[in-house]
Amino acid sequence: MMREHNRVAGELKRLNKHWNDEQLFQNARRIVTAINQHVTYNEWLPRVLGWNAVNLYELNLLPEGYSEDYDAYCNPTVLNEFGIAFRFGHSLLKPSLERMDGIFAKRNPPVKLSEHFFNPDLLYQPGMLDEIIRGLTTVSMETLDQFLTDEVTNHLFEDKRQPFSGLDLAALNIQRGRDHGLQPYNEYRALCNLTRARSFDDLHREIARPVIERMKRTYAHVDDIDLFTGGLIETPLHGGLVGPTFGCTLGIQFRNLRCCDRFWYENADPLVRFTDPQLTEIRKVTLSKLLCDNCDYVESEQWSVFDLPDPFLNPRVSCRDLPGVNLELWKERVSCGVGKTNIDISGAERISPCVMCTCTKEGPVCQSLKIDNCFHLAQSYSPESILNDHVCKVQCAFAFRAFPQVATQDSNQLGFANS
Ligand code: HEM
């Protein structure tokens, strides 16, 4: 995303040479934020929550036009519970990241997590970032379940010189929930419209039997189960990764992030919105295109990078064939051409006797003028220009017919009576 920011800022500078650093930064930031929101809700959330939950929490994006869902009275901040529920990703980690070359052959050695905590030097090696990205988009993740790789449960931030110095991420997550005063898992079940369990066996609809048996051995009472533990062990929602309790926590959070944010990219607020054509451009972008644009030598990506490549269902295509944002639409207007008239930005001109146009950032906006006195109009404009203006004709033809003597006076320039 940082590379994308700099790429967009560079393009904006080429298109708007008169912009200063602040304008370039703020506009690039706004575009990249919008792209991030679009990719997250369009490509990522459906895979985490499944389509049923996406529909239930109204997280579907609009295919066109502006959203009117902004609610100034709701709270967009991050829920305490979300800070724990969103750690479900820790269960998806593999012990090492595969590296792949340009023809997707594995490169050795893979990047072992525990060998690189606090040591990102590897990323400075030429081609390394591309190799890791190819690996990440080609190899499947771990299953979301009660297991976390040993690399983060025994070797997190380990000091190799000191045996057993590694931390346990699962324990940190559980303890962090308690530090933050979170309610037990059972309370969140009730809040999320599941039944409040009175015994361990009441969990059987959401949690597999053998896992319930392990819970019995771990916790003294069903009310003692922590949110992180209970959420992680639930059977996934249909078509998603997380179970109903994490699904509910994430669903509410992502709904708030969308509806309570005045700067949400689909919003209609005329002070901060994108133009309709700009919004259409943002809606074209996919994570595959982002990777293409920002890796060093990546030339192809599968259409949907959150899904494994497949020659039929998700083929790798050339980066050139993936749609992206056309930044030409952010070229700032300095003027608008309306017919033969050129109007400066923010200026207004009468382009004909009865039509006034204003040049806005989104293009010219024209409106008909109400004519109070047609004879005054006739003193200022030629008969041809008035007759050629449909708006004048509609308003003044009646007046000129009613007073034909105006047309016969020598001083009269109109000649309407003869027409
Ligand atoms: C190699 C990969 C990762 C490592 C080593 C890692 C490690 C950590 C650590 C050490 C913490 C702080 C734990 C604490 O003391 O409370 C943390 C917090 C967190 N992690 Fe991860 N994590 C990784 C990947 C992920 C992924 C893939 C996700 C989500 C999809 C994720 C979500 C979170 C969240 C939401 C927090 C809490 C942040 C906060 O409240 O400030 N992490 N992670």
pLDDT in tens, 135-189: 999 999 999 999 999 999 999 999 999 999 999 999 999 999 999 999 999 999 9
267 CB neighbour count, 10 Å cutoff: 21
The tens digit of pLDDT for each residue in 36-88 reads 999 999 999 999 999 999 999 999 999 999 999 999 999 999 999 999 999 99
- What is the spatial distance between Cα 172 and Cα 229, in angstroms, rounded to a whole number? 12
Residue 120 has pLDDT above 70, yes or no: yes
Contact 211, 186 (CB under 8 A): no
Ligand 1: does its nearest atom lie under 6 Å from the Cβ of 86?
Answer: yes
Phi, psi of 16 (to 5 degrees): -130, 80
Q: Which two tokens stand for residue 318?
A: 């050339």
Per-residue confidence (pLDDT) for residue 419, from 0 to 100 = 42
Model confidence, pTM? 0.84
Q: Determine the Cα–Cα distance for residues 46 and 40; give it in Å rounded to an integer.
A: 9
Mean pLDDT of 212-221: 98
- Asked if 203 contacts 214 with a C-beta cutoff of 8 angstroms, the reply is no
The average pLDDT across 286-307 equals 95
Give 405's pLDDT tier (boundaries 50, 70, 90). Answer: low
176 Cβ inside 6 Å of ligand 1? yes
Asked if residue 249 has pLDDT above 80, the reply is: yes
CA 417 / ligand 1 centre spacing (Å):
83
pLDDT classification of 399: cutoffs 50, 70, 90: confident
When pLDDT is cut at 50, 70 and 90, the band that residue 387 belongs to is confident
How would residue 384 be classed by pLDDT, with cut points 50, 70 and 90?
A: confident
From residue 298, alpha-carbon distances to 134, 294, 323 in Å are 8, 9, 16
Q: How far is the CA of 169 from the centre of ligand 1 (A)?
A: 8
Q: How confident is the model at residue 407 (pLDDT cuts 50, 70, 90)?
A: very low
Q: Is the CB of 95 under 6 A from ligand 1?
A: no
The alpha carbon of 90 and the centre of ligand 1 are apart by a number of angstroms equal to 7
| 17 burial type by CB count under 10 A (0-12 exposed, 13-18 middle, 19+ buried) | exposed
> Atom 9 in ligand 1: which residue has the minimum CA distance?
169
Comparison of pLDDT for 382 and 352, the residue scoring more: 352
Output the CA–CA distances (angstroms, integers) from residue 33 to 2, 43, 118, 179, 356, in the order listed: 11, 15, 27, 32, 37
Q: How far apart are CA 65 and CA 42, in angstroms?
A: 16
The answer to whether 244 and 192 are in contact (CB under 8 A) is yes
pLDDT of residue 179: 98
Residue 400 has a pLDDT of 77
> Rounded to the nearest whole angstrom, what is the distance from the C-alpha of residue 34 to the centroid of ligand 1?
24
216 has pLDDT over 70? yes
176 CA: nearest ligand 1 atom: 16
Mean local confidence (pLDDT), 92-114:
96
Binding site membership of 76 for ligand 1 (Cβ less than 6 Å): no
pLDDT above 70 for 93:
yes
> Ligand 1 center to residue 184 CA distance, Å?
20
What is the whole-number distance in angstroms between the Cα of residue 89 and the centre of ligand 1? Answer: 8
Query: Is residue 418 predicted with pLDDT exceeding 70?
Result: no
> How many CB atoms are located within 10 Å of the residue 48 CB?
25
**Ligand 1, atom 26: closest residue by C-alpha:** 89
Q: Nearest C-alpha to atom 8 of ligand 1 is from which residue?
A: 169
Nearest residue by C-alpha to atom 3 in ligand 1: 90
- The verdict on the CB of residue 171 being under 6 Å from ligand 1 is no
Nearest-angstrom CA–CA distance, 235 and 246:
11
Give me the pLDDT at residue 404, please.
60
Distance 269 CA to ligand 1 centre (A): 35
Please identify, by atom number, the ligand 1 atom nearest to the C-alpha of residue 113: 1
What average pLDDT does the segment 345-349 reach?
89
Q: How far apart are CA 127 and CA 124, in angstroms?
A: 8
Ligand 1 pocket: which of 48, 122, 148, 169 to mutate (most atoms <8 Å of CB)?
169
Question: H helices of 104-243, where?
Answer: 128-138, 150-153, 169-179, 185-191, 209-218, 227-233
Amino acid at the residue 220: A
Token pair for 52 = 């049923």
- Give the residue numbers of the binding site: 90
Give Cα 73 to chain centroid, integer Å: 22
Q: Is the peptide bond preceding residue 109 cis, with omega within 30 degrees of 0? A: yes
Residues flagged as binding site for heme b: 90
**What local confidence, expressed as pLDDT, does residue 382 receive?**
85
User: Ligand 1 centre and the CA of 87: distance in Å?
Assistant: 6
Instruction: Give CA–CA dist 60/83, Å, rounded.
Output: 23
- Report cis status (omega within 30 of 0) of the bond before 311: no
> Which amino acid does the sequence have at 244?
P
Distance between CA 413 and CA 21 in Å, rounded?
55
Q: How far is the C-alpha of 375 from the C-alpha of 134, rounded, in Å?
A: 75
Is residue 152 in contact with ligand 1, taking CB distance under 6 Å?
A: yes
Is there an atom of ligand 1 within 6 Å of 83 CB?
yes
- Distance set, CA 246 to CA 153, 188, 242 (Å): 21, 9, 6
Sign of CA dihedral 371, 377, 380, 384: positive
